[in-house]
Structure 1
Amino acid sequence: MYFNKIRMHPIMIPIIIYLIATAQLAHYSIIFGSLLIHELGHIAVAKWTGLKMTSCTILPYGGEIKIKNLHLAPTHHQWLIAIAGPLATAVLYLVAQPFQFPGQAFFNEVQLTILALNLIPILPLDGGQALKAILSKRYHETLLALSISVSTLLILVTFEKLHLALIFTFIVFQNIRSWQYRKYEEAFYKIVTKQLTLP
């Protein structure tokens, strides 16, 4: 069962505390439910391609899914998995439009924010993952470096909207960590690939 592999990142705790303290539990439910559906889009397509999810961590912009041997999957499968989250969010938004319900304006804002964020072509967002899937491996370090630069710039651009600035700050730190460990990750993938291709 996939649901027992879904976790919430500690960065979500202050957001939840704030929403509870300001009596905005309905808003919390909309945010969490929207992020969960976004991630279920990735999970469903990963399962369809025959890949196995090992963990899913809910983050403010979506989530971080660990999929076993994703780097060995065909390029089009990697690309489909990356765009499945934004597609799930877009479908959720469109399906809800014919209906009228309390909190609809906030619901729409959440969906459009999640969608817009994840279409930005920087790592680790879905737009960046989709771009990474179609790029040659020799450009992956360049994409990571550009992701650090662009997300840093976006902190300055969104400074007046604190929640967005905090999200991009978190993304910068994620990318810096990925940059620091990129050589170890590459070596690990080479070892795994070699083991899987041994007769």
Structure 2
Amino acid sequence: MIKFRGIVWSVHPLFVIVMLLSAAAGRFAELITLFVLVFVHELGHVVAARSFGWVIREVKLLPFGGVAETEEAGGMPTREEAIVAIAGPMQNVWMAALAWGIGKFGIGDPAWANELVEANMLIALFNLIPIHPLDGGKLLQCLLGRLMPYHHAMAWTIRISITLSVLIGAAALVQQLWPGGGIQLNLLTIALFLLATNWMQRRHMPFLFIRFLMNRERYARKRMDRGASAAPIVVRPEAALHSVLKDFRRDAVHLVYVTTARGELLGILPENELLHGFFASANPNRPVVELII
């Protein structure tokens, strides 16, 4: 674990296992190459995030990339998160292009250059699979966040991630059914890791949603300064406060219209009043109409 410029850099236990297996097999060159590629990949995320003023607490390196923990989780625009997510694979693209040029013009060993191209493209393409916490999973949540409320986008991202993780694990196991085939242990290990990560993400959804709400109030002024779109929410008086908050969209500023079944307007609540009412109350299921009376 190393702390540099306020960011804690650490190696995930899964990467440690890969490194130990590589060392035991005497594949030191491949190990060092993988570490450098993953580090540069993750550095791309860090530089992009810092350019938007994000505060990054920790970066954990994985065999196929890394996971960055930020204070802005869910609080920043989907556009910024999408750029930060794609910044990692883009590092592998330019490194692959550089390696191809080295091999093409005879600057280095063509065989080594070709392996470097393949490694970079494998890391880039794998990271673009729409599974959390891969970059593709983050892009998927950004896309869903443009189409539906944040809570729904998060829930669907986890569902899709779990489904795809199971399919990858099944693909690793089915290899043994083919002549000369066998279980792909590396792929199976990664699939199990992704499945476990998303299963934990599913269990932690209430906490993650609370963090989103806390960051939403914290960055409300920034959203308004960026010209976030206004999105009205129409609810009935008996609607639970917590359920109304689940309709909040990431890139919008909300006004909540409380109406009767006949369409009579009882009141209009800005989103910050709902947030204050939620965090100040011991009952998250209190009717939203209580904030008007």
Give TM-score, length-normalised by structure 1. 0.91
Q: 2:51 is matched with which residue: 48, 53, 72?
A: 48
**Hey, what's the Cα distance between the residues in 1 that align with 2:17 and 2:205?**
30
Which has a greater percent of strand? 2
Given that 2:74 and 2:215 are in contact with CA atoms closer than 8 Å, whether structure 1 keeps it comes out as: no
Alignment pair present for 1:85 and 2:88: yes
Amino acid in structure 1 at the alignment position of 2:204: Y
Q: Secondary structure in 2 aligned to 1:71?
A: coil
Against the structure 1 CA distance between its residues 25 and 4, is the aligned structure 2 distance closer, same or farther, given a 3 Å change threshold?
farther
Distance 1:182 1:97, change over 3 A: same
CA distance in 2, matches of 1:2, 1:11: 25
Which residue, out of 209, 212, 220, partners 1:189? 212
After superposition, the C-alpha distances for 1:106-139 in whole angstroms (9 at most, x for unaligned) are 3233212211111111211101101212323122
Q: Residues of 1 paired with 2:14 and 2:204: CA distance? A: 21
Gaps of at least 5 residues in structure 2 are 103-107, 174-182, 221-271, 273-293
CA-based RMSD: 1.9
The equivalent of 2:124 in structure 1 is 115
Given that 1:56 and 1:63 are in contact with CA atoms closer than 8 Å, whether structure 2 keeps it comes out as yes
Contact 1:61 1:118 in 2 (8 A): yes
Per-residue CA deviation, residues 134-190 of structure 1 (Å, 9 max, x unaligned), is 323122201211110111111111334321221121011000000011112112322
Instruction: Report if aligned partners of 2:55, 2:71 keep a CA contact under 8 Å in 1.
Output: yes
Q: Secondary structure at the match of 2:132?
A: coil
- Give the deviation of 1:196 after TM superposition: 5.4
The answer to which structure, 1 or 2, has the higher relative contact order (CA under 8 A, 6+ apart) is 1
Report the Cα distance in structure 2 between the residues aligned to 1:140 and 1:27, rounded to whole angstroms: 36
**What number of residue pairs does the alignment pair up?**
198
Rg larger for: 2
The CA deviation string for residues 71-94 of structure 1, in whole angstroms up to 9 with x for no partner, is: 211221011001110111111111
Compared CA separation, residues 169 and 3, structure 1 to 2 (3 A):
farther
Q: Does residue 131 in structure 1 map to residue 140 in structure 2?
A: yes
Q: Does 1:168 align with 2:171?
A: no
CA contact (8 A) 1:51 1:70 kept: no
* Alignment partner of 1:103 is 2:106: no
Note closer, same or farther for the CA distance 1:195–1:112 as it changes in structure 2 (3 Å cut).
closer
Runs of 4+ with deviation above 6 angstroms? none
**Change in CA separation of 1:154 and 1:2 when aligned onto 2, cut-off 3 Å:** farther
Is 1:10 equivalent to 2:13 in the alignment? yes
- Counterpart of 2:38 in structure 1: which amino acid? L
TM superposition shift of 1:103: 3.0
Q: Could you tell me the TM-score, scaled by structure 2's length?
A: 0.63
| Unmatched 5+ stretches in structure 1 | none
Q: Which residue of 1 aligns with 2:266?
A: none
Query: Which stretch has the larger CA shift, 106-115 or 170-179?
Result: 106-115
The CA deviation string for residues 6-61 of structure 1, in whole angstroms up to 9 with x for no partner, is 11011122211111112111110011000001001101100111112111000122
- Would the alpha carbon gap of residues 76 and 4 (structure 1) be closer, same or farther in structure 2, given more than 3 Å must change? closer
Change (3 A) 1:177 1:83: same
Deviates more, 1:103-112 or 1:130-139: 103-112
Residue identity in the other structure for 1:58 = L
**1: distance between equivalents of 2:15 and 2:37?**
14
Specify the alignment match of 2:276 in structure 1.
none
Q: Is the 8 A contact 2:10 2:60 kept in 1?
A: yes
Please say if residues 97 and 117 of structure 2, whose CA atoms lie closer than 8 Å, have aligned partners that are also in contact.
no
Corresponding residue SS for 1:129: helix
